[in-house]
Amino acid sequence: MRLAIFDLDNTLLGGDSDYLWGRFLVEQGIVDGEYYARENQRYYEEYKSGQLDIREFLRFSLSPLAKHDMATLQRWHQRFMKQKIAPIMLPKAADLLQKHRKKGDFLLIITATNRFVTGPIAETLGVDDMLATEPQMTNGRYTGEVEGVPCFQQGKVTRLRQWLNQTGYNLAGSWFYSDSHNDLPLLELVENPVAVDADETLSEHARLKGWPQISLRE
């Protein structure tokens, strides 16, 4: 069974769920609005430019999870799915997933965004499994820390290799779809890399490499 691997934010979704979760927290008055909005925007710009310190960002983004119980967080997330995620679901992304599903491929999302935010999104998309940055939990509550290797840049390769060892899958005939130059380490690893609505850096790299470039937003 071949692997069809997908980035999530700005690839299968027409936006960034991590950034939008921050916006949601501000709009709901859950966090200090002015400070959190400013920092959320700063980290997003650093991500797009390839300058993001992932550990620093995770201390920022996981902190609100540690301040509230799971029932409250899940209630907020249901509202977040309706207000922020439903409007950026892409019909062409669903079609692409279905194309690979019909071929018998194993559908795997691999995302830097933490599992609390992305787990319900992956479930909605109907993929077979997901690798995400893992927020640490103790006694049913988030601690604000990260568990293991963040699923970002080279960390995606590390986490995928761990998953391959655990599951017995391999990269023969594998696909990976992404929009971001941050995913170049993994794009270089698979047999079939595809740039999706790519940023400028990835688009140029794909052109030089002869990789396919597609849009799921047109």
In order along its 218 residues, the chain shows pLDDT tens digits of: 999 999 999 999 999 999 999 999 999 999 988 999 999 899 999 998 989 899 999 999 999 999 999 999 999 999 999 999 999 999 999 999 999 999 999 999 999 999 999 999 999 999 999 999 999 999 999 999 999 999 999 999 999 999 999 999 999 999 999 999 999 999 999 999 999 999 999 999 999 999 999 999 97
Q: What is the pTM of this model?
A: 0.95
Phi, psi of 131 (to 5 degrees): -110, 130
Sign of CA dihedral 64, 65, 66, 70: positive
What is d(CA 203, CA 5) in angstroms, rounded to the nearest whole number? 19
Residues 133, 115 contacting (CB under 8 angstroms)? yes
**Distance separating alpha carbons of residues 130 and 107, to the nearest angstrom:** 8
Q: Of 122, 193, 116, nearest to 157 (Cα)?
A: 193
Give the C-alpha separation, 17 to 118, whole Å.
Answer: 7
Are the C-beta atoms of 109 and 118 separated by less than 8 Å? Answer: yes
* Catalytically annotated residues: 7, 9
Domains and CATH numbers, the chain: 3-15+89-214 (3.40.50.1000), 17-87 (1.20.1440.100)
Angle between helices 70-80 and 17-27 (to 10 degrees): 110
Pairing of strands 175-178, 3-6: parallel
